[in-house]
Amino acid sequence: MNQRLNFLDLFAGAGGLSEGFIQAGYEPVAHVESDRAACFTLRTRMSYHWLKSQAQTKLYADYLNGRLSRTEFYGYVPERVIGSVINAEIGANSLTGIFRRIDNLLENRKLDLIIGGPPCQAYSLAGRSRDQNRMVGDERNYLYKYYAEFLKRYRPAYFVFENVTGLLSARDEVGNLYFHAMRTLFRECEYETEFMPLSANDYGVLQNRKRVILVGRRGKISGFYPEPDKWCPDVTVQEIFRDLPAIPAGGGHPGPCSVEIYNGFWQKDAGIRNDDIPVTWHQARSNNAQDLEIYRIAVELWNNKKARLDYNSLPERLKTHRNQHSFLDRFKIVASDLPYSHTVVAHIAKDGHYYIHPDINQNRSITPREAARLQTFPDNYYFESSNDFPGRTPAFRQIGNAVPVLLAKKIAEKLKEVWL
């Protein structure tokens, strides 16, 4: 299909899902996101895409190199591009204003597609296990009802709804499945839905990340699911580390860094590596001496025995957590010799103990750039904070919450093939 299809991204986060659709040739009309830092990330990314279309990416490089402030950088981009990112929490009180802004951005164009999924905490198994009420009554359980309001208003041909696999088993206060209620509501909006649980590592992503991808098609036809083509490259997780400079805990910088020559294929085929725009966010957390000692033990255990660290096996002097009955794998290596890593989640914003770098000489947790590569964000993707100063915590949070870009791209490409 050669037609340029317009889409709206709801609960957009840092734009992992959107970036995949853009790479597949779709045109974003608007992004709606409540997190202020993520909205700046989206504005910067939309600015990059516009500048690229105008052959002016030098301005983007100037911004990353610190030669332009964010305000100055945005000044080179049309207001409609900056304004296409709507910083708003989707709810009953905000719908009218959001609709008005989207209508203005559409300029009488038809909206072909809606993508996005509500925050996953309310449906995730981890979220339910940590909450004393198992997330029952959490308002986020019902955000899909607002998603349906966008379907009613814009009546796109398709929608793509993404969430954690826990969605399939999450129940409300009387025991009914949220997923069944969602599909029933979407059918009332005149959409048939089909879904599959997809594992990102089946599609070229070097990460074990499972997600439910629900696709809706307007009308009553079935058998339309755009199951993406699998790609299992013969590489290991070492691909994300091999060309980045070695840095210790506390080392690196949010700004540009030098990378080594890359002679492999995966980074390029996955859309990560580029040689025109500076690579940013290769900055490691600082750690205290105790954490670094635990990191060394964990790395040595993996290197020598291919075994994961059990927290209770640590010397008593290193045990500071009261809970010694659960989460015993709270210190974990991102093993470079495996075909994919464990799942990157938003908790990486709180500490890096679950994402320890495999090089004992560097002795640190992974950087935002390394985490972004596990999520297949392009190296030229810059993660913003909510103010004018770079913040590693917002970057980690945005990356951990994202959809892997490559998975999104493969879904988008297959959707074009089945488009009616």
Active site residues: 120
Indicate the SS3 state at residue 196.
strand
Write the DSSP symbol of residue 369: H
Q: How far is CA 275 from the centre of its chain?
A: 23
17 sits in which H/E element: helix 16-23
Give the ranges where 107-262 is alpha helix by DSSP (H): 125-130, 144-154, 178-188
How far is CA 303 from each of CA 38, 235, 341, rounded to the nearest angstrom? 37, 18, 15
8 Å CB contact between 411 and 213 = yes
Furthest-apart CA atoms within the chain: distance in Å: 67
Q: How far is CA 412 from the centre of its chain?
A: 16
Q: How far apart are CA 414 and CA 50, in angstroms?
A: 25
User: At residue 239, what are phi and psi to the nearest 5 degrees?
Assistant: -60, -30
Q: How far apart are CA 256 and CA 263, in angstroms?
A: 21
8 Å CB contact between 41 and 384 = yes
Residue owning tokens 């954490």: 291
8 Å CB contact between 392 and 368 = yes
Q: How is residue 14 written in tokens?
A: 């840092």
